[in-house]
Copies of this chain bind each other. A is one copy, B any other.
Amino acid sequence: MPRRLDGGAASFESDFRALLDDKRETAADVDDTVRAIIADVRTRGDLALIDYTARFDRVQFTPSRFRIGADEIEAAKADCEPDTLAAMKLAATRIAAFHERQLPADDRVVDAAGVELGARWTAIGAVGLYVPGGLAAYPSSVLMNAVPAKVAGVERIAMTVPTPDGVINPLVIAAAEHAGVTEIYRLGGAQAIAALAYGTETIAAVDKIVGPGNAYVAAAKRQVFGAVGIDMIAGPSEILVVADGENDPAWIAADLLSQSEHDESAQAILITDDRAFADDVAAAVERHLATLPRAAIARSSWETHGAIIVLDTLDDAPALVDRIAPEHLELAVNDPEAMMARVRNAGAIFLGRHTPEAIGDYVAGPNHVLPTARSARFSSGLNVLDFMKRTTFVRCDAASLSEIGPAAATLADAEGLPAHALSVRIRMNR
Given contacts A354-B427, A359-B405, A392-B367, contact A88 B122 (CB under 8 A): no
CB distance from A220 to the nearest CB of B (A): 16
CA distance in complex: A115, B427 (Å)? 58
Cβ of A171 under 8 Å from chain B: yes
Taking beta carbons and an 8 Å cutoff, which residues of A are in contact with B? 81, 83-84, 86-88, 90-91, 94, 97-98, 101-102, 107, 109, 111, 115-117, 119-120, 122, 124-125, 135, 138-140, 171, 207-208, 226, 228-229, 248, 250-251, 254-255, 257-258, 260-262, 288, 292-294, 298, 322, 336, 340, 343-352, 354-367, 371, 373, 375-381, 383, 385, 389-398, 400-401, 404-408, 410-424, 426-427
Q: How far does the alpha carbon of A1 sit from the alpha carbon of B97 in the complex, in Å?
A: 55
One of B109, B229, B413 near A378 (C-beta < 8 A): B229
Which of B255, B298, B390 is close to A383, meaning CB atoms less than 8 Å apart? B390
For A86, what are the chain B residues with a Cβ–Cβ distance below 8 Å?
407
How far, in Å, is A224 (CB) from chain B's closest CB?
12
Which of B138, B364, B408 sits near A362, CB closer than 8 Å?
Answer: B408
User: Which residues of B have CB within 8 Å of A404?
Assistant: 90, 94, 359, 363-364
* Contact A401:B354 (CB < 8 A) given known A207-B377, A419-B258, A419-B288: yes
Q: Is the CB of A84 within 8 A of B254?
A: no
Bound complex: CA A261 to CA B417 (Å):
7
Contact: A294 with B258, CB < 8 Å? no
**CB within 8 Å for A288 and B408 given contacts A397-B354, A416-B135:** no
Q: How many copies does the complex hold?
A: 2
Q: Which residue of B lies closest to A353 (CB)?
A: B427
**Cβ of A426: which chain B residues have Cβ within 8 Å of it?**
248, 250-251, 254
Complex Cα–Cα for A172 and B189 (A): 47
In Å, the complex CA distance between A272 and B93 comes to 47
- Pair A364/B115 contact, Cβ less than 8 Å: yes
In the complex, the chain B residue whose C-beta lies closest to that of A344 is: B122
- Beyond A87-B410, A139-B415, A348-B392, 14 additional contacts (C-beta under 8 Å) are A87-B407, A122-B345, A229-B377, A340-B393, A350-B393, A351-B395, A354-B401, A355-B394, A356-B423, A358-B421, A359-B404, A376-B389, A380-B391, A385-B385
Query: Closest residue of chain B to A398, judged by CB?
Result: B354
Neighbouring B residues of A365 by C-beta, 8 Å: 111, 115, 117, 394
Q: Which of B124, B140, B262, B423 contacts A258 (CB 8 A)?
A: B423
* Residue among A292, A413, A415 with most chain B CB within 10 A: A415
Pick from B91, B229, B347, B410: contact of A407, CB below 8 A.
Answer: B91
Question: Bound complex: CA of A265 vs CA of B412, how far in Å?
Answer: 20
Q: Report chain B residues within 8 Å CB of A207.
A: 377-378
Q: Given the complex, which residues of B lie within 8 Å of A385, measured CB to CB? A: 385
**Closest chain B CB from A273 CB (angstroms):** 22
The closest CB in chain B to the CB of A90 belongs to: B407
* A212 CA / B117 CA spacing, docked (Å): 25
Looking at the complex, which one of B352, B356, B375, B416 makes contact with A226 (CB distance below 8 Å)? B375
Q: How far is the CB of A415 from chain B (nearest CB, A)?
A: 5
Contact partners of A423 in chain B: CB under 8 A: 251, 254-255, 257-258, 356-358
Residue in contact with A98 in the complex, picked from B117, B396, B405, CB distance below 8 Å: B117
